A and B are shown apart, each in its own frame.
Chain A
Amino acid sequence: MTERVSPGRTEPGGRRWYSIAAPTDQRDDDPRMTATPALAIELVGIHKRFGEVHANKGVDLAVRRGSIHGIVGENGAGKSTLMSILYGFYEADSGEIRVNGAARRVRSPGEAIAAGIGMVHQHFMLVEPLSVTDNVMLGAEGGPRLAHGARQVRAKLAALARDYGLTLDPDAVVGDLPVGLRQRVEIVKALVRGADVLVLDEPTAVLTPEEADGLFRLLRILADEGKTVILITHKLREIMAITDRVSVMRRGEMVATLDTAATSPAQLAELMVGRRVLLRVEKNEARPGAPALVVENLVVRDAQGTARVDGVSLQVRAGEIVGVAGIAGNGQSELLEAIAGMRPIAAGSIALDGAPLGAAERDPAQLRRLGLLHVPEDRLRTGLVPSFEACESAMLGFQDEQRYGAGALLDRGAIVAHTLAEMEAYDVRPRAPLLKTAKFSGGNQQKIVLAREIERGPKVLLVGQPTRGVDIGAIEFIHRRLIALRDAGVAILLVSVELEEITALSDRIVVMCGGRITGERLPDRTDERDLGLLMAGVSDRAA
């Protein structure tokens, strides 16, 4: 009934990973191709360059209609670029996009929407003070009279609720909705605009485990009803749990497309990195010493006077890692910044090595001198200056050290040499101290920050989201460094929204919700469900 050849074979000139992909493809495809030939999306030979960076090198992708297709890859592997090309943010240098078998040009998000492609961004594109109806209608008002468009949107919302169980209160103000429902608004926005293909970029980053499960159930319903879902994620667990097929990208190339049922997390990780990876962190028992960092009844208020940290007490002893778990935005960031001296504290006390810190010492520069160093949560907004050369970012916070030059002048040679040494020690690639910081991949940027902070021999290290947007190979490296630092007697306070990371690294776990600590656990005596409840604010059941 069709003359279409299996996508695996349309591309002439086999590539070296073909041995992995082809057998799976052929075994499964041939019978199914004749039964359900429909491909919702095909990308053929996509090339995209940004200056020196070849982000997509002849990428092919075939996504079956009505399936959930995962795309995994390390950061900088080219997943986001590929999806941006599909959604019209970028135009490919060469290559073809086919939607339902027909070649289409997608030069703008508007053209992507017209082609039935919808995108749910990692960071929501919503207007918080407006209602759900207004947000959905935005950009699709259907004429100058709002009432008419609003009526239509309401009818569509009702239809979506009926067909997919996508219930939403059309009059609710988006700003009042929990994160999971805001994401639902984004999905509804795409569907109302007639999307048959939904692209979700790291959709679970902001969700609790329960909310993520809810999202996955919804995606499954959508796929069963004939919608196509493309899921970009770096969490292999999610790939295994929800997708039908999975494509792996590495260094701008599509290295394999596999049936999820026929693969394993270990195989996917190996394909992503190109070598075998340990998914678990190996560590010995901690041998904690004296309390190095003691926080008591800390209260931190934001500009509006709301208490973001509301009476938090915790202590970190030398030689232990204390993990702070919680959904993003529950006061962990403010806690870290307050301890690091970047935010004023409204009440409470912080003591370092048994000595309480006065107001004059709670200043980032002073604290650095006292041995409290800080790997901030947001590399690009806080930890580095993206527009600076890497060597200039590598001295941020330590710019007054004598090694960078005596007096008022900076010694460029010393700065570059020092950065190069740090880059060697932490395997930063490329080893280019003069390259702009923004041009390094997320993992390498994080290594620049870690090298800068760890190399100074901290007593207390604050670490925020050490592996956010960092590829698997670098995650392994960073985790090993942190464990080694702990074993060397450093007190580490770790904040992460990745539960796996918290449980893998921490010797003790505290959970924050709404600015308070809702419970403390030992990593081997808890599980995701237990932590998830604490993260959702269900107070401690005195385990």
Chain B
Amino acid sequence: MSAAPIELPRWADYVLVPALAVAAAFVIAGLVVLAIGENPLESTAILLRGALATGEGVGFTLYYATNFIFTGLAVAVAFHAGLFNIGGEGQATLGGLGAALVCLQFESLPGWLLVPLGALSAAAFGALWALVPGYLQAKRGSHIVITTIMFNMLASALLVYLLVNVMGRPGSMSPETRTFVPAAHVPFLHEILARFGVVIPTTPLNGSFVLALAAAFGVWLLIWRTRLGYAIRTVGANPSAAVYAGISISRITMIAMMISGGLAGLLAVNEIMGVQDRLLLEFTGGYGFIGIAVALMGRSHPVGIVLASLLFGVLYQGGTELAFDKPAITRDMIVTISGLVILFAGALDGVFRAPLGRFFASRRRGDA
């Protein structure tokens, strides 16, 4: 027997609790801002304005959100199978390698072929990189949390080696490949719209955003509407029921990890093929880790993940503006706010859930 389950109306569960978590994070962050002698209300206004008030701000916000959607979905798919995939960073790194190999190898292909091939290659490299920990978990019982963390380190070491010794631009000091051919570039949104005569500010927002939304829909379809998704959820929710149902846990573990790794690998489509147009170090920028918070906050549901990604996109973009406007507030401050959001939305979920549960229970009593 354990404590009573906390029952909340759906809207409170999915909207009110996360909203309160974000509000609490901002209040505490506001106290820190106050402590360093800045005005928290003014700072919040700058942050929101920077992220949402201008077309340029919105473009950057959505560009950041694209990365979060990919990594958030990656974590969520593994999570549905009961696996905690910490390896988003490494899988995205390998995704970059996959994308770069295709883009550098098949320079003569037309863009309509090269871009999808590059994206497929990114997903495949991410998937295969995730398959190894998946295999070790399924067949050898090595804990996936440990192995995926190790594989993050292996991936970054591998990328350094390749860029310094194998793929690097000859004669260049910086560890990066040569620039891809223009055909390999995922078009920016402002480029696409310009063709139709619509002028929007120049931002890194590119076609990957559409791919991310499609991936979110695909994940929803996979998890809730396919046999494979049913098997994945059964393994995650009740492994012994999966054995009873004749579902192979090791097979599902490996498949779920591959899908997860593939989604993480797609981050490279945005960063490498959409923005940088070359492979370079550290392009994953910690998105793989924040994807864990995104999935947690979005309750592993694609809609929640898209919303949480937008929130983190706002924080990233607005935070950059804030750091620019207020020299006293550095980028570290934004990391602090993100951390507080993660803390309240993920780890301290119960702080709001328990009192809300009591509140709704007492209201029901009043009705009765």
Shortest C-beta distance, A337 to chain B (Å), equals: 9
Inter-chain contact A50/B228, CB cutoff 8 Å? no
- Which residues of A, 362-414, contact B by the 8 Å Cβ criterion? 363-366, 368, 374, 376, 378, 381-388, 392, 395-397, 399-400, 405, 408-410, 412
Inter-chain contact B241/A381, CB cutoff 8 Å? yes
Determine whether B301 belongs to the interface, using a CB cutoff of 8 Å to chain A: no
What residue in chain B is nearest A89 (Cβ atoms)? B1
Determine whether A482 belongs to the interface, using a CB cutoff of 8 Å to chain B: no
- Residues of the B chain whose Cβ atoms lie less than 8 Å from the Cβ of A50: 4-5, 7
Q: A49-B361, A90-B4 are in contact. Are A396 and B227 (CB under 8 A)?
A: no
Interface size for B (C-beta < 8 A) is 26
1/0 contact string of A294-324 vs chain B (CB within 8 Å)? 0000000000000000000000000000000
Inter-chain contact A93/B244, CB cutoff 8 Å? no
Inter-chain contact B238/A386, CB cutoff 8 Å? yes
Give bound CA distance, A510 to B3, whole Å.
40
Inter-chain contact B241/A383, CB cutoff 8 Å? yes
Q: A93-B365, A363-B246, A399-B231 are in contact. Are A408 and B226 (CB under 8 A)?
A: yes
Inter-chain contact B233/A388, CB cutoff 8 Å? yes
Determine whether A172 belongs to the interface, using a CB cutoff of 8 Å to chain B: no
- Residues of the B chain whose Cβ atoms lie less than 8 Å from the Cβ of A374: 244
Q: A90-B4, A381-B240, A384-B241 are in contact. Are A368 and B246 (CB under 8 A)?
A: yes
Give bound CA distance, A50 to B6, whole Å.
9
- Residues of the B chain whose Cβ atoms lie less than 8 Å from the Cβ of A131: none
1/0 contact string of B213-233 vs chain A (CB within 8 Å)? 000000000000111101101
Interface majority SS on A: helix, strand, loop or mixed?
loop
Give bound CA distance, A410 to B233, whole Å.
14
Inter-chain contact A387/B237, CB cutoff 8 Å? yes
Inter-chain contact A410/B230, CB cutoff 8 Å? yes
Determine whether B364 belongs to the interface, using a CB cutoff of 8 Å to chain A: yes
Inter-chain contact B364/A49, CB cutoff 8 Å? yes
Q: Identify which of B237, B245, B365, B368 contacts A397 (C-beta below 8 A).
A: B245
Inter-chain contact A388/B237, CB cutoff 8 Å? yes
Shortest C-beta distance, A14 to chain B (Å), equals: 21
What residue in chain B is nearest A125 (Cβ atoms)? B1
Q: Identify which of B5, B228, B237, B364 contacts A385 (C-beta below 8 A).
A: B237
Inter-chain contact B361/A399, CB cutoff 8 Å? no
1/0 contact string of B25-45 vs chain A (CB within 8 Å)? 000000000000000000000
Determine whether B243 belongs to the interface, using a CB cutoff of 8 Å to chain A: yes
Inter-chain contact B361/A396, CB cutoff 8 Å? no
Give bound CA distance, A342 to B238, whole Å.
14
Shortest C-beta distance, B85 to chain A (Å), equals: 20
Determine whether B234 belongs to the interface, using a CB cutoff of 8 Å to chain A: yes
- Residues of the A chain whose Cβ atoms lie less than 8 Å from the Cβ of B244: 340, 342, 364, 374, 376, 382-383, 396-397
What residue in chain A is nearest B244 (Cβ atoms)? A382
1/0 contact string of A203-243 vs chain B (CB within 8 Å)? 00000000000000000000000000000000000000000
What residue in chain B is nearest A341 (Cβ atoms)? B246
Shortest C-beta distance, A464 to chain B (Å), equals: 11
- Which residues of A, 82-133, contact B by the 8 Å Cβ criterion? 84, 89-90, 93-94, 121
Determine whether A12 belongs to the interface, using a CB cutoff of 8 Å to chain B: no
Shortest C-beta distance, A329 to chain B (Å), equals: 17
Give bound CA distance, A383 to B238, whole Å.
10
- In this complex, the interface size class of chain A, counting residues with CB under 8 Å from chain B, is 35 or more
Determine whether A144 belongs to the interface, using a CB cutoff of 8 Å to chain B: no
- Residues of the A chain whose Cβ atoms lie less than 8 Å from the Cβ of B7: 50-51
- Residues of the B chain whose Cβ atoms lie less than 8 Å from the Cβ of A365: 245-246
Give bound CA distance, A80 to B226, whole Å.
38
Shortest C-beta distance, B211 to chain A (Å), equals: 21
Give bound CA distance, A192 to B189, whole Å.
74
Shortest C-beta distance, B293 to chain A (Å), equals: 23
- Residues of the B chain whose Cβ atoms lie less than 8 Å from the Cβ of A378: 240
1/0 contact string of A325-350 vs chain B (CB within 8 Å)? 00000000000000011100000000
- Residues of the B chain whose Cβ atoms lie less than 8 Å from the Cβ of A381: 238, 240-241
Shortest C-beta distance, B234 to chain A (Å), equals: 6
Q: Identify which of A49, A84, A93, A396 contacts B245 (C-beta below 8 A).
A: A396
Inter-chain contact A410/B3, CB cutoff 8 Å? no
Inter-chain contact A385/B241, CB cutoff 8 Å? yes
What residue in chain B is nearest A438 (Cβ atoms)? B5
Shortest C-beta distance, A357 to chain B (Å), equals: 15
- Residues of the B chain whose Cβ atoms lie less than 8 Å from the Cβ of A397: 244-246
- Residues of the A chain whose Cβ atoms lie less than 8 Å from the Cβ of B225: 409-410, 412
Give bound CA distance, A374 to B227, whole Å.
21
- Residues of the B chain whose Cβ atoms lie less than 8 Å from the Cβ of A400: 227
Q: Identify which of B1, B227, B233, B368 contacts A84 (C-beta below 8 A).
A: B1
Q: Identify which of A341, A368, A408 contacts B228 (C-beta below 8 A).
A: A408
- Residues of the A chain whose Cβ atoms lie less than 8 Å from the Cβ of B231: 399
What residue in chain A is nearest B226 (Cβ atoms)? A408
- Residues of the A chain whose Cβ atoms lie less than 8 Å from the Cβ of B240: 378, 381-382
- In the complex, besides A49-B361, A376-B244, A383-B241, 10 extra interface pairs with C-beta distance below 8 angstroms are A80-B1, A84-B1, A365-B245, A381-B241, A385-B234, A385-B238, A387-B237, A387-B238, A397-B246, A410-B230
> What are 6 A-B pairs at a CB distance below 8 A?
A80-B1, A386-B238, A396-B245, A399-B231, A400-B227, A409-B225
Binding site for B on A (CB under 8 A): 47, 49-51, 80, 84, 89-90, 93-94, 121, 340-342, 363-366, 368, 374, 376, 378, 381-388, 392, 395-397, 399-400, 405, 408-410, 412
Among all A-B residue pairs, the 8 with the closest Cβ atoms = A365-B246, A364-B246, A397-B245, A51-B7, A385-B238, A382-B244, A396-B245, A382-B240
